[in-house]
């Protein structure tokens, strides 16, 4: 099993940057596909980015591609989401997710088995 805790959220002005961190525990972390999702009130949780267990493959939603970068450090059991050129539309609760049963980066909620509690990101205009 994998346990996840997000941090790094906060308030930032449009055009600014934030770096989210996800601390993971569990022996299988290094072979888990990791993803970042985000959710606003009244809407479904949506995929932002994901990374393979080796870090060699990444995938991003069109809405964040070119602005967000996902990375991981398996030695530290950490995954990161660097968010640049932030827009008010990026305001959401951001969740870290993990899957131990696939080696490809899924984009659907059902592709992931473990979830953190989320961290709030607010982008002001």
Segment 35-55 shows an average pLDDT of: 96
Q: What is the pLDDT of residues 86-118, one digit of tens each?
A: 999 999 999 999 998 888 999 999 999 999 999
pLDDT value at residue 71: 97
Residue 26 has pLDDT above 90, yes or no: no
Residue 78 has pLDDT above 80, yes or no: yes
How many CB atoms are located within 10 Å of the residue 118 CB?
18
Q: 49-83: buried (b, 16+ CB within 10 Å) or exposed (e) per residue?
A: bbbbbeeeeebbbeebeeebbbebebeebebbbeb
How far apart, in whole angstroms, are the C-alpha atoms of residue 121 and residue 28? 28
Residue 1 has pLDDT above 90, yes or no: no
Segment 29-52 shows an average pLDDT of: 94
Tokens of 72: 């991981």
* pLDDT bracket for residue 36 (50, 70, 90): very high
pLDDT value at residue 27: 72
């Amino acid at each position: 099993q994998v346990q996840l805790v997000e941090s790094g959220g906060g308030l930032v002005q449009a055009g600014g940057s934030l770096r989210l961190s996800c601390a993971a525990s569990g022996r299988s972390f290094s072979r888990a596909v990791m993803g970042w999702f985000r959710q606003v009130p009244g809407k479904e949780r949506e995929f932002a980015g994901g990374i393979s267990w080796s870090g060699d493959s990444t995938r991003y939603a069109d809405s964040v591609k070119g602005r967000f970068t996902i990375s991981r450090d398996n030695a530290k059991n950490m995954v990161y989401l660097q968010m640049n050129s932030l827009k008010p539309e990026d305001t959401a609760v951001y969740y870290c997710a993990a899957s131990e049963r696939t080696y490809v980066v899924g984009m659907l909620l059902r592709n992931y088995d473990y979830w953190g509690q989320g961290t709030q990101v607010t982008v002001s205009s």
